[in-house]
Amino acid sequence: MGWHRELLIGFDLETTGTDPREARIVSGAVIEVRAGERLGHREWLADPGVEIPADAVAVHGISNERAAAEGEPADRVADAIARALVSYWTAGVPVVAYNAAFDLTLLSAELRRHGLPSLSDRLGGIAPAPVVDPYTIDRWADRYRRRKRNLEAVCAEYGVVLDAAHNASADALAAARLATAIADRHPKIAALGPAELHRRQIEWYAQWAADFQAFLRRKGDAAAVVDGAWPLRELSPEAV
């Protein structure tokens, strides 16, 4: 039985924006999944402490009024999510996040913003791992497919049901099920252990970023820079 049939932890954040270094957590979910079956589930609603822009509300449906009335303080939510993820990494359980570089970078920025220990600090100085990112894996395994690569489109490609896109719990569950479906379709992915798969994804993401950056520059954007760090992007000192 491969890693994809063992315990996986689906993780997703809904946020105030699209820049992981600046956006704030609005909601988050951590879901235990084994062989596609949902087991444990934790979800958080945060008061981000800043206004949630209308375009973000339109995506995830969480209004400023609801976040202020029902949400927990942002620092408590960030800390609780970090503690949950670290508990699984410490046990060697893979955390699955679709486009992990966004969610984990954003969580890391929130921890720094509130003066809380980083993920690495909580892991004794070790980088967070193993992480499974269906976005990165699918882009490598089926690189010539000319279709969208958002969560909804890739779930449809692999026959994974996504009940409510941009709901943290639904997206986290779909990400975990998608990881299983991708490994089922691509035996070479299933055959890798979680640690080796993590290492390969670092390489695959960096190669994609380099290729995409070169493409943008060929198209005339001479200053284009595509960050190839995965699963965490570096935070600048002012990113708080």
Domain contains 176: yes
The DSSP bridge partners found for residue 42 are 30
Of 233, 178, 188, 183, whose CA–CA distance to 206 is shortest? 233
Query: Per-residue pLDDT for 238 more than 90?
Result: no
Cis before 237 (ω within 30): no
Write out pLDDT tens, residues 4-55: 999 999 999 999 999 999 999 999 999 999 999 999 999 999 999 999 999 9
Domain contains 162: yes
Domain contains 237: no
Give CA torsion, residues 35, 38, 39, 43, to 10 deg.
140
* Spatial separation of the C-alpha atoms in residues 135 and 15, rounded to whole Å: 19
* Spatial separation of the C-alpha atoms in residues 149 and 151, rounded to whole Å: 7
Please, what is the angle between helix 168-185 and helix 151-158, to 10°?
Answer: 40
**Residue 166 pLDDT grade (very low, low, confident, very high; cuts 50, 70, 90):** confident
Domain contains 238: no
Domain contains 84: yes
Domain contains 239: no
Query: Per-residue pLDDT for 150 more than 70?
Result: yes
For the chain, what is the domain count? 1
Domain that holds residue 31: 3-218
Query: Per-residue pLDDT for 69 more than 70?
Result: yes
Domain contains 240: no
CATH number at 131 reads: 3.30.420.10
Domain contains 76: yes
For the entire predicted model, the pTM comes to: 0.95
Average pLDDT over residues 224-234: 95
